[in-house]
Amino acid sequence: MAKSVTKRSEVEIVSQLAVSGERMIERLRRKSFLPERRKELHLRFGIAEVAAMLGCSTNRIRQAEEDGRLPSPAFDEAGRRLGYDVAAMLRMREVLGASPRRADGDEPAIIAVQNFKGGVGKSTVTTHLAHYLAIQGYRVLVVDCDSQATTTTLFGFNPHFDVERDQTLYPYLSIDPTQADLLYAVQPTPWPNVDLIPSCLELFDVEYELAAAGSDGQNVLAARFRKLKQGLRDLARSYDVVILDPPPALGTISLAVMQAANALIVPLAATTPDFCSTVQFLSMMDQVLAQLEQAGISVDYGFVRLLCSRHDTSNPSESMVIRIMEEAFGASLLPVAVLDSAEISHASLRMMTVFELNKPIGTARTHKRCKQNLEEALGQVEQLLRRGWHRAHPALEDLADVA
């Protein structure tokens, strides 16, 4: 008798832990996003930094400000420039002809950041890639397809309080859909050129519904696969890049994402378990893609690359795993790994990416090293995109070369 009482009380603890955890998330959010509890972007770039990103001289920027093509810069009381925010930099790209946007005839990139193993940095790669591309001037849509909603949280939304099921993919993918396209779900973010389709726990209802579809289940699944692909392609016309963050499991939504994408990035950490599980993922994916083809669902990728998403260079065992990955995957493994850094962890604690930090959280040296590494690692993906549009930078071609 005593055993059953103990069992019930332990089960009740699960609910208590969930409530307590949700309260803590809200406290962290309030602390991070004061005063209005909404995430804001406070990034400022100096004129030399902006000139380097645009590939022009500072004199060209000053000249455009003097002749009225660009607004006059703001100054502080000491007469120093306050710097340019992201919106100002995007305008500068347009005026000075330095926008990297795809041409009208170029196909938008729809990238799935996918691995069936959790803890490989999938959401970290997704959000940092989105913000990196935003700084470069691309129009980006991020679609959080994971009911755990980590990416949604990193964009400043609390999935427990701010996001309802009808704001996710659910009304579009459910058995009884209430939406004919995905425009209803697109939310602005603090970044002027990045939008988000958020997620929340109730998105998982799609998995339940489709699993219970009965004898006609295969036809329903195939219809949903085609529907997500079409919906994303329709939305992608307004963007350069769409980044999909699917669940870390082989489920209905993951399969739908797999066939809706036209490019694939597989993140994995530099550990033996991650390497082994990723090999299993690739093997399983190979089988699934073959089955999709047999079912008449076409899948085609402009590129498939693996990205080491976490590597501690001071750890000899991880360096050995990197060498194993290089031998196994060849040129399909992007050569520059994302290095393990306290700055990424510090930013995540504040529900931010390193690219959103206006100043270092740790030491200036750590921040600079981390940001440079992220720019180099994610720049490899940018080169793959640009090469698909036949505009890759010749000096960086080798970073994205095909085996």
Position 154 scores a pLDDT of 92
Whether residue 60 lies inside any domain: the answer is yes
Shared domain check, 277 and 364: yes
pLDDT in tens, 266-287: 999 999 999 998 998 898 888 8
Whether residue 8 lies inside any domain: the answer is no
Shared domain check, 308 and 250: yes
**112 vs 38: which has the higher pLDDT:** 112
Whether residue 38 lies inside any domain: the answer is no
pLDDT in tens, 219-236: 777 788 889 999 999 999
Count H helices, E strands: the chain? Answer: 14, 7
Write the CATH number for 286.
3.40.50.300
pLDDT in tens, 6-47: 555 565 666 676 677 667 766 666 665 544 456 788 889 999
CA 147-148-149 angle, 5° bins: 85
Whether residue 17 lies inside any domain: the answer is no
Average pLDDT, the chain: 87
Whether residue 98 lies inside any domain: the answer is no
Position 292 scores a pLDDT of 81
d(CA 368, CA 198): 30
d(CA 147, CA 249): 11
Position 399 scores a pLDDT of 43
Whether residue 365 lies inside any domain: the answer is yes
Shared domain check, 143 and 52: no
Position 216 scores a pLDDT of 57
Shared domain check, 178 and 77: no
Q: Which residues pair with 109 in a beta bridge?
A: 241
Range of the domain at 60: 47-84
Whether residue 42 lies inside any domain: the answer is no
Shared domain check, 145 and 74: no
* Residue 215: pLDDT over 50: no
pLDDT band (50, 70, 90) for residue 333: very high
- Total tally of structural domains belonging to the chain: 2
Shared domain check, 123 and 69: no
**pLDDT cut 70: percent of the chain above it:** 87
Phi and psi angles of residue 155, each rounded to the nearest 5 degrees, phi first: -90, 5
Whether residue 100 lies inside any domain: the answer is no
Q: Measure Cα distances from 25 to 12, 19, 96, 97, 327 in Å.
A: 20, 10, 42, 42, 42
